[in-house]
């Protein structure tokens, strides 16, 4: 039985799929904590119905505080903003320094608050279930310090490496793809660039709308994410680096 923490931003349909899979035994695990960046996240209700501890770190409020007066915005004592700006891969290195500093300061403060909120609830795996905030090295290094044994998963609404970013199904639709899908991957410092664990695909017909694609994609997400989490619970995921420098995930055979 693994302990699972989850981060959400919205309705939490993937969280519900994980909760249901834990209840049915499809995942040998238990969700022990749910956090969000959005005080209005409807998915919090799904957690409260199961008496799962929750916490809200309002990223938007912190960003507004920084913009009001950067000089009065305290950052965590253990946050090296210069190092964070140098190592993060989300804001271009040639972007204006104030944009990079704003991102580093607000993310570090928000992520420190998340880490503090999660601390009373030890977990083996953190799943991003519709969490609409990218995580920086500040958070990743503290929660998942081993690149050989990562423990933060994300689900993305596209067949990576195609269409990273926040609107995978929309990008799939606008590009005119004949196949859509979803991807579960471990996270790294980039945006949807971590090693891929699993994917599911579906056909797109000429009459499909964006809403149809999203509906089909969500159904695949609800199947794929629990399957990948169970592989983690069975200790069957191994991350290795290829000769070309790519990090890939091998799935070990079932011992049964």
Which residues have a catalytic role annotated?
A: 156
DSSP E strand boundaries for the chain = 2-8, 29-36, 54-56, 125-128, 152-156, 179-186, 196-203, 237-241, 247-251
Structure tokens at 202: 């579906």
CA distance 256 to 253: 9
Closest CA to 217 of 177, 166, 182: 182
CB 155 within 8 A of CB 183: yes
- Tracing tokens 């834990």 back to the chain, one arrives at 22
């Amino acid at each position: 039985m693994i302990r699972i923490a989850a981060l959400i931003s919205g309705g939490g349909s993937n969280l519900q799929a994980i909760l249901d899979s834990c209840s049915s035994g499809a995942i040998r695990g238990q969700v022990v904590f749910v956090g969000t960046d959005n005080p209005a996240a409807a998915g919090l209700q799904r957690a409260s119905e199961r008496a799962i501890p929750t916490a809200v770190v309002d990223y938007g409020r912190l960003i507004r505080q920084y913009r009001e007066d950067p000089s009065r915005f305290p950052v965590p004592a253990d946050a090296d903003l210069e190092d964070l700006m140098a190592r993060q891969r989300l804001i271009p290195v040639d972007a204006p320094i104030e944009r990079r500093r704003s991102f580093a300061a607000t993310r570090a403060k928000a992520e420190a608050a998340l880490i503090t909120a999660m601390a009373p609830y030890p977990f083996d795996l953190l799943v991003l279930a519709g969490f609409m905030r990218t995580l920086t090295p500040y958070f990743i290094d503290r929660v998942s310090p081993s690149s050989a044994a990562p423990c933060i998963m994300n689900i993305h609404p596209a067949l990576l490496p195609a269409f990273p970013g926040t609107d995978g199904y929309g990008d799939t639709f606008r590009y005119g793809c004949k196949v859509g899908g979803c991807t579960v991957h471990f996270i790294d410092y980039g945006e949807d660039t971590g090693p891929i664990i699993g994917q599911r695909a579906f056909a797109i017909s000429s009459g499909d709308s964006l809403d149809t694609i999203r509906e089909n994609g969500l159904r695949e997400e609800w199947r794929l994410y629990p399957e990948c989490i169970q592989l983690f619970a069975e200790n069957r995921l191994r991350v290795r680096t290829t000769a070309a420098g790519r990090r890939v995930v091998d799935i070990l055979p079932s011992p049964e």
